[in-house]
């Protein structure tokens, strides 16, 4: 039998769902969700949201932005002009504050001064501010003493590593974001074998999506086993 002609495949961009309905709640993140939902009760109208890379901080921050009309900016991009624009929008999300320490000296000094100015201005304007980072704010390295003390005094809520239920639900969501239909056997197979982190789940789904396109095959447990380099019967 003559094999059917092969067609070129194209990796299409996908846009993850970032609304409240798409945020998956489980015991490992429930306390953070409750803290963000109770934003009107934040001490000093500020909160630090912490968690490892790709743990859901940005998604939860987007949920809060939708509820409060807050503007978002990366801490590394802060300068005087950005501060005025951010506060003019009202409430603010400042993401990856811990990354300021990775900047060169000139940019770092500028970002630190701008962040200090933003916190002062937010206090004067009565604005709420959500700051995110991988670790707690007491470990965010900044050189301005007054800024360091203010960050260390922030109330903190954290996203923990996903439990079994959240990891499985996250895999389902990530496949759905890419419009990929997979069976529960694939979800169980991956959840038992990948690292227990949101980053590992994203990487596994991305790799399977690419492999499925390359081989013109649906995402199955057998394909997942090939992707992981493991036998499906393990």
Q: Residues 224, 190: contact at Cβ < 8 Å?
A: yes
The predicted pLDDT at position 207 comes to: 93
Same-fold call for 26-158 versus 164-228: no
CATH code at 164-228:
1.10.8.60
Question: How does pLDDT run across 9-66, given as a tens digit for each residue?
Answer: 333 334 444 444 456 777 778 889 999 999 999 999 999 999 988 778 888 999 999 9
In angstroms, rounded to a whole number, what is the distance separating the alpha carbons of residues 81 and 139? 27
For 86-139, write each residue's pLDDT tens digit.
887 789 999 999 999 999 999 999 999 999 999 999 999 999 999 999 999 999
- Extract the runs of DSSP E, i.e. beta strands, from 29-136: 46-50, 71-74, 92-95, 129-133
Residue 148: per-residue pLDDT: 96
Q: Where are the domains of the chain?
A: 26-158, 164-228
Radius of gyration, CA atoms only, the chain: 21
- Give me the residue label for tokens 């921050």: 61
- Could you tell me where the DSSP H helices lie in 22-79? 30-37, 57-68
Q: Quick one: pLDDT at residue 231?
A: 42
Domain spanning 26-158, CATH architecture: 3-Layer(aba) Sandwich (3.40)
Poorest-pLDDT segment among 36-40, 137-141, 197-201, 204-208: 197-201
Is a pLDDT exceeding 80 seen at residue 233?
no
Cβ neighbors of 28 (< 8 A, separation 6 or more) are 159, 160, 161, 162, 163, 166
Ranges 6-10, 74-78, 137-141, 193-197: which has the least confidence: 6-10
């Amino acid at each position: 039998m003559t094999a059917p002609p092969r067609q070129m495949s194209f990796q299409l961009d996908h846009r993850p769902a970032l609304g409240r309905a798409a945020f998956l709640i489980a015991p490992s993140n429930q306390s953070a969700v409750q803290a963000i939902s109770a934003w009107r009760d934040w001490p000093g109208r500020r909160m630090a949201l912490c968690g490892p890379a790709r743990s859901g901080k940005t998604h939860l921050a987007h949920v809060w932005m939708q509820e409060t009309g807050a503007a978002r900016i990366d801490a590394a991009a802060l300068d005087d002009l950005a501060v005025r624009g951010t506060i003019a929008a009202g409430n603010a999300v400042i993401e990856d504050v811990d990354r300021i320490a990775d900047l060169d000296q000139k940019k770092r000094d500028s970002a630190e001064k701008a962040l200090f100015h933003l916190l002062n201005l937010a206090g004067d304007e009565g604005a709420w501010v959500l700051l995110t980072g991988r670790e707690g704010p007491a470990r965010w390295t900044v050189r301005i003493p007054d800024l360091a003390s203010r960050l260390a005094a922030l109330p903190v809520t954290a996203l923990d590593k996903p439990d079994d239920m959240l990891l499985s639900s996250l895999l389902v969501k990530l496949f759905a974001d890419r419009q990929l239909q997979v069976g529960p056997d694939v979800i169980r197979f991956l959840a038992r074998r990948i690292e227990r982190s949101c980053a590992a789940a994203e990487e596994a789904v991305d790799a399977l999506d690419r492999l499925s396109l390359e081989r013109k095959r649906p995402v199955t447990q057998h394909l997942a086993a090939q992707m992981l380099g493991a036998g499906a019967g393990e």
